Amino acid sequence: NMVTEIPKMGKAKMEVATKDESNPIVQDMKKGALRFYHGPIFWNYGCIPQTWENPNDKHPELGCFGDDDPIDAVEIGAAALEAGSVTPVKALGVLAMIDDGELDWKVICIAESDPLFSELDDIADVEAKCPGVVSGIREWFRWYKTPDDKPINAFGFDEAALPKAKAIEVIQETHTAWQGLREGTIDAGKLWTGV
């Protein structure tokens, strides 16, 4: 499942507030002002619940640490999903974005209700049947912070969108980290875990 934070074509920068009780979805603030993207996001954007990118674990290949958030989901279907909705999705692949030195996985997925759901099973299918979508996602996330005078984001693994098997591995690893938060075997710091 995916929780939609920002519907397709949205501009308001909404996110799960991981430090607030019950983890509500709120609009991000910067210097006391509500935050907006400089242009719309062309896909549904959100997170995969019960996952967490551990900021204390160094990725063995990429050499950077997790971003202290649930892993992100980019749903590529035709319909705009409602903010706050929980949608059954199929993981198709994953990008390893590096944002300000932190690993910020982007799982590319498709909603179970989308007409292309049965035709897309892995990232190669997306490249074949939806040309330009993967490169569009990569470039949007590479450049989206530059209007705020921030550097472009990088991508690990030679910028490749890794296959479904890697996406599922990342989801499983980050779910295990989330379980550690809930069980108290990993220090949650200021995160609200409901325990």
Q: Which residues are catalytic?
A: 37
If you write DSSP's letter for every residue of the chain in order, what string do you get? -EEEEE-TT--B-EEE-TTSTT--EEE-EETTEE-B-SS--SSEEEE-TT----TTPBPTTT--EE-SSPPEEEE--SSPPPTT-EE-EEEEEEEEEEETTEEEEEEEEEETTSTTTTT--SHHHHHHHSTTHHHHHHHHHHHTTGGGTPPPPEESGGG--EEHHHHHHHHHHHHHHHHHHHHTSS--TT-----
Which tokens go with 62?
């990429």
